């Protein structure tokens, strides 16, 4: 087992050393089980058949930021769409960093624009309040109010 890339991303840890280059009884390279969480591909898990357990294996370049499998595939598709010949690990993570910087710039411009916007001042027409209102309610004249007519028995 040579330290190879999975989806163009390289992983490595010293726990893999004893397994590198092993061949089976037919002279072929031995194969091993690797698993990864699609929500965070910064670590894969290697199943050690002798210890019968999984070992976490990080990115070979630990300066690379964590990302999801979907994000990785979007970055690779973007590089392919841009006809970039260089679609290696470094190009993928550089494209990711570029997208993150553009997003941060856009967010800061949005916040700045919201702060510069003038607040809307309520007027007496839009608020429905009378500016001359002192807060005291005028009491209705209850004696001039007529009661509802009684309903006839023919109605249900």
> What pLDDT does residue 1 have?
45
What's the rounded mean pLDDT across residues 7-19? 88
- The model's pTM: 0.54
Helix (H, G, I), strand (E, B) or coil at 59: strand
Percent of the chain surpassing pLDDT 70: 76
The per-residue pLDDT for range 20-72, each reduced to its tens digit, is 878 877 888 888 899 999 999 999 999 998 899 999 999 988 888 888 999 88
> What pLDDT does residue 35 have?
93
Q: What is each CA distance from 148 to 142, 151, 153, in whole angstroms? A: 14, 9, 15
């Amino acid at each position: 087992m040579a330290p190879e890339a999975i989806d163009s991303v390289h992983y490595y840890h010293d726990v893999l050393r004893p397994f590198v280059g092993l061949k089976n009884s037919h002279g072929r390279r031995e194969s091993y089980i690797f698993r990864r969480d699609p929500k965070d591909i910064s670590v894969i898990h290697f199943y050690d058949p002798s210890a019968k357990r999984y070992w976490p294996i990080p990115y070979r370049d630990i300066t690379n930021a964590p990302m999801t499998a979907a994000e990785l595939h979007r970055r690779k598709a973007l590089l392919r769409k841009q006809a970039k010949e260089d679609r290696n690990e470094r190009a993928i993570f550089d494209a990711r960093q570029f997208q993150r910087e553009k997003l941060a710039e856009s967010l800061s411009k949005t916040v700045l624009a919201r702060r510069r916007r003038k607040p809307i001042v309520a007027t007496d027409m839009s608020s429905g309040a009378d500016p001359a209102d002192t807060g005291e309610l005028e009491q209705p004249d209850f004696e001039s109010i007529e009661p509802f007519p009684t309903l006839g028995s023919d109605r249900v």
